[in-house]
């Protein structure tokens, strides 16, 4: 006869019978607690991601606010029959006055040297340059319209800055070039009035001379100065506007988006590597089992302190991030990405990985497994729109302007952009990006260490009750 087990009752035996175990499994599979939480997670990620990503990037032209554009007046004015004409100054003043009426653009009156410096450091997305002899060319159009002499149209060059932001430069052009066209028509009205006055004066003077010479009035009208169709068309829209990039992006820079794409790659590597390392280390520490192909195992139960586990995981990334940064740079260069200032770029690449891993491990330490979901929301869904890699900060909804400087991807992007495109200038974003990443690291490392110590004191070290739970499950 089978021996009995002390303390077991018939009900207990029934509960552990095969049929009872099967019923328990089916009940677990069908329980709302089994499928409601995964459903909630998917809904949370899908809804939050759509709201943040599409909402942040969907309408940049509707959120223009203080978009920086340089305004350069190189015109020195000209003498027009004893009267000083300064059409360039008048036009620049009108553009500045109109921009000040709204918050859309920050039109900055600068010298040409100052404008070039800000274009080269990515501080402005475009530049409106009224070229030299603007007034002289405008006055020349009036005189040439009444004679057979040749004249040059007054010229404005609109420089875009695709290295600062391809989309930002294009949206600035879409808004400002029509304003320049309107300014050309307004100037045309002035020139047409001047031409008509000059024609009337010339006709009166010529008429007096011809009358004195005995020329009939009918012949005088034929000899009087006239505006032909071509001259009238040029006068009605006199300004020649040329749009061109200030500096063309190099081959391999993804039309100026390469720094952003590389930063996104670092973000993906940082998050996915941190999550993978989290599971691998927890398995080695005996906290969680891990499944690798057909193998399902867990290391010896070490009961590590939470703060020590955080430092171990992040420390591994800090060390492993050095060869990883070198490998990523080497491959990027091998496939055609131009990389100036290799030392700065190596340090920035490594610091980006360190920042993303500190945030990911910090959130996992603070919130457990839910920290992985929060990492996706904070680093990815909130970070991508605020990164300014696609849409500039000045063209984002207010929420993303507010959170941008607290987002790792924003700091990563401006630092990498400064290195790759703006000669590693501190003022172009390098200094701000490196300091920003350092502050984010400090915040999450301190928060993780403090929370780890508090959790351990209040709740015990990680997996302290896991062995008891396993024994209870076996019985």
Cβ–Cβ < 8 Å for 330, 345: no
pLDDT of residue 159: 95
Rounded to an integer, what distance in angstroms lies between the CA atom of residue 349 and that of residue 342? 10
Burial 245-274 (b: 16+ CB within 10 A, else e): bbbebbeebeebbbbbbbbbebbebbbebb
Does residue 466 register a pLDDT over 60? no
- What is the per-residue pLDDT for 15? 42
Q: What is the mean pLDDT of the chain?
A: 83
pLDDT at 264 over 70: yes
Greater confidence (470 vs 112) lies with: 112
- Render pLDDT for 279-336 as a digit per residue (tens, 0 to 9): 888 888 877 777 777 777 777 777 788 899 999 999 999 999 999 999 999 999 999 9
- Asked if the model's pLDDT at residue 145 lies above 60, the reply is yes
Region of 293 please: left (phi>0), alpha (psi -120 to 50) or beta. Answer: left
All residues at 6 or more sequence positions from 192 whose CB lies less than 8 Å from its CB, including other chains: 232, 235, 236
* Strand duo 155-160 + 126-130: pairing: antiparallel
Instruction: Name the pLDDT band for 147 (thresholds 50, 70, 90).
Output: low
Give the distance, in angstroms, between the CA of residue 445 and the centroid of all CA atoms in the same chain.
26
Confidence class of residue 4 from pLDDT cuts 50, 70 and 90?
very low
* Measured distance CA(278)–CA(287) in Å, rounded: 11
User: Rounded to whole angstroms, how far apart are CA atoms 6 and 8?
Assistant: 6
For 264, half-sphere exposure in the C-beta direction (CA atoms, 13 angstrom radius) is 15
The whole-angstrom separation of Cα 471 and Cα 475 is 6
353-406 tens-digit pLDDT: 999 999 999 999 999 989 999 999 999 999 999 998 888 888 988 899 999 999
Average pLDDT, integer, range 18-36? 68
Per-residue pLDDT at 469 exceeds 70: no
Q: Percent of the chain, pLDDT > 70? A: 81
Residue 474, pLDDT score = 52
Does residue 460 register a pLDDT over 80? Answer: no
Mean pLDDT for the stretch of residues 1-24: 46
* Per-residue pLDDT at 422 exceeds 60: yes
107: which strand partners? 69
Per-residue pLDDT of 81-137, as tens digits, reads 677 778 889 999 999 988 888 888 899 999 999 999 999 999 999 999 999 888 888
Measured between alpha carbons, how far is 339 from 176 in angstroms, rounded to an integer?
33
The residue-averaged pLDDT of 253-262 equals 91
pLDDT for 262 beyond 50:
yes
Residue from 290, 358, 347, 304 nearest 322 by CA? 347
Q: What is the pLDDT of residues 30-58, one digit of tens each?
A: 777 777 877 888 888 889 888 887 887 77
How would residue 3 be classed by pLDDT, with cut points 50, 70 and 90? Answer: very low
Three-state SS for the chain is CCCCCCCCCHHHHHHCCHHHHHHHHHHHHHCHHHHHHHHHHHHHHHHHHHHHHHHHHCCHHHHCCCEEEEEEECCCCEEECCEEECHHHHHHHHHHHHHHCCCCEEEEECCHHHHHHHHHCCCCCEEEEECCCHHHHHHHHHHHHCCCCCCCCCEEEEEECCCCCHHHHHHHHHHHHHHHHHHHHHHHHHHHHHHHHHHHHHHHHHHHHHHHCCCCHHHHHHHCCCCCHHHHHHHHCCCEEEEEECCCCCCCCHHHCHHHHHHHHHHHHHHHHHHHHHHHHHHHCCCCCEEECCEEECCCCCCCCHHHHHHHHHHHHHHHHHHHHHHHHHHHHHCCCCCCCHHHHHHHHHHHHHHHHHHHHHHHHHHCCHHHHHHHHHHHHCHHHHCCCCCCHHHCCHHHHHHHHHCHHHHHHHHHHHHHHCCCCHHHCHHHHHHHHHHHHHHHHHHHHHHHHHHHHHHCCCCCCHHHHHHHHHC
Of 256, 64, 240, 66, nearest to 160 (Cα)? 256
State residue 454's pLDDT score.
93
């Amino acid at each position: 006869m089978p021996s009995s087990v002390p303390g077991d009752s018939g009900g207990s035996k029934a509960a552990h019978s095969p049929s009872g175990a099967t019923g328990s499994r089916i009940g677990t599979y069908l329980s709302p607690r089994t499928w409601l939480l995964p459903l909630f997670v998917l809904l949370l990620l899908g809804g939050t991601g759509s709201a943040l990503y599409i909402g942040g990037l969907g309408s940049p032209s509707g959120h223009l606010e203080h978009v920086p554009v340089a305004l350069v007046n190189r015109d020195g004015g000209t003498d027009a029959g004893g009267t000083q004409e300064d059409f360039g100054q008048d036009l620049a003043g009108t553009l500045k006055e109109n921009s000040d009426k709204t918050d859309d653009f920050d039109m900055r009156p600068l010298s040409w040297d100052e404008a070039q410096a800000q274009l080269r450091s990515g501080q402005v997305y475009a530049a409106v340059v009224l070229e030299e002899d603007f007034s002289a060319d405008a006055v020349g159009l009036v005189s040439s319209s009444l004679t057979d002499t040749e004249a040059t149209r007054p010229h404005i060059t609109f420089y875009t800055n695709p290295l600062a932001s391809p989309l930002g430069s294009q949206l600035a052009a879409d808004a400002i070039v029509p304003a320049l066209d309107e300014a050309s028509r307004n100037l045309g009205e002035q020139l047409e009035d001047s031409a008509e006055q000059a024609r009337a004066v010339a006709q009166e003077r010529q008429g007096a001379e011809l009358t004195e010479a005995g020329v009939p009035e009918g012949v005088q009208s034929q000899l009087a100065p006239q505006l032909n169709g071509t001259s009238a068309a040029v006068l009605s829209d006199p300004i020649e506007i040329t749009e061109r990039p200030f500096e063309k992006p190099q081959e391999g820079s993804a039309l100026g988006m390469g720094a952003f794409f590389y930063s996104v790659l670092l973000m993906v590597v940082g998050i996915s590597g941190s999550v993978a390392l989290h599971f691998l280390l927890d398995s080695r520490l005996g906290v969680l089992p891990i499944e690798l192909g057909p193998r399902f195992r867990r290391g010896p139960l070490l009961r590590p302190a939470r703060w020590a586990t955080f430092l171990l995981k992040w420390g591994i990334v800090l060390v492993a991030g050095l060869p990883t940064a070198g490998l990523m740079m080497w491959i990027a260069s091998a496939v055609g990405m131009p990389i100036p200032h290799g030392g700065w770029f190596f340090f920035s690449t490594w610091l980006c990985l360190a920042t993303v891993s500190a945030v990911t491990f910090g959130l996992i330490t603070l919130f457990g497994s839910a920290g992985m979901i929060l990492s996706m929301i904070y680093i990815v869904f909130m970070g991508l729109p605020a990164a300014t890699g696609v849409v500039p900060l000045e063209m984002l909804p207010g929420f993303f302007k507010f959170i941008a400087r607290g987002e790792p991807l924003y700091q990563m992007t401006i630092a990498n952009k400064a290195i790759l495109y703006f000669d590693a200038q501190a003022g172009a974003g390098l200094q701000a990006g490196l300091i920003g990443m350092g502050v984010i690291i400090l915040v999450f490392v301190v928060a993780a260490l403090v929370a780890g110590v508090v959790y351990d004191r209040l709740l015990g070290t990680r997996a302290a009750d896991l062995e008891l739970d396993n024994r209870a499950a076996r019985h």
